A and B are shown apart, each in its own frame.
Chain A
Amino acid sequence: MTTSRIRNNIRTLRFHHGEMTQQQLAEKVGVTRQTIIAMEQDKYSPSLELAFRIALVFKVPLEEVFSYQPEDTNT
């Protein structure tokens, strides 16, 4: 499976925001539910604009939602 080196806390943040559903988040940021699922499974790295929109929904800084794992820490 192809996974991205960009990790995210979307699932946790959804849980802490009144157990927001994937569909609700998808509607708020203007993407499909499948895209939210793909991001949560680290199968898709969003664009910078979408990343900011997600951070805005949760009212947290971008780095609290997304983090970058450099290649050398994977090994």
Chain B
Amino acid sequence: MSFQEKNIVVTLTNFSLILAFYLFRIFQMVQSDTFTSTNLFWLWGIIALLAVIGTIVATIFTHIVGGIVHKVKTNEDPHIEDIQDERDQMIELKGTKVAYTFSSIGIALAMLTFVFGQSPLVMFALIIFFGVLAQVIADIWRLNLYRKGF
């Protein structure tokens, strides 16, 4: 697995966990009748923090552990191919396009709930849900392009 693919797997895992945590917290709030703007925006803050810091920490940790495992298995120094060539850039762009498409559809759907009489909080909750979901789908799309080619 290449350096870029490892990074995508780390991001995908991180964002999938964030999505699960977000949905769990939202359902908890709805069930306990604490689905308020203060709680929702607090959750937004946590999600943003987890997305940025979680991804950075997880990426560093994965490469350190990967390097140690490689050294123990082969007794060779790990060779990190951290250059991003034209194929990597192309795959990243295609993934970004998918992310934009899905998040745009998601935002439109979120706005539609507002139009159909739901509270603005539902719309805000759906916007972040579709944002994270778009990232997950884009990462799966990128991995697929690395595996199957294009």
Contact = CB atoms under 8 A, between A and B. Distances in A.
Interface of A is mostly: loop
B116 interface: no
Contact of A31 (B87, B146, B150): B87
Contacts of A3: 149
Interface of B is mostly: helix
A44 B81 contact: no
B86 A32 contact: no
B72 interface: no
B27 to A, nearest CB: 39
Interface stretch (A7-15, A35-43, A55-63): A35-43
Interface residues of A, number: 18
B148 A1 contact: yes
Contacts of B87: 31-32, 34-35, 38, 44, 46
A66 to B, nearest CB: 15
Interface of A: 1-4, 30-35, 38, 41-44, 46-47, 50
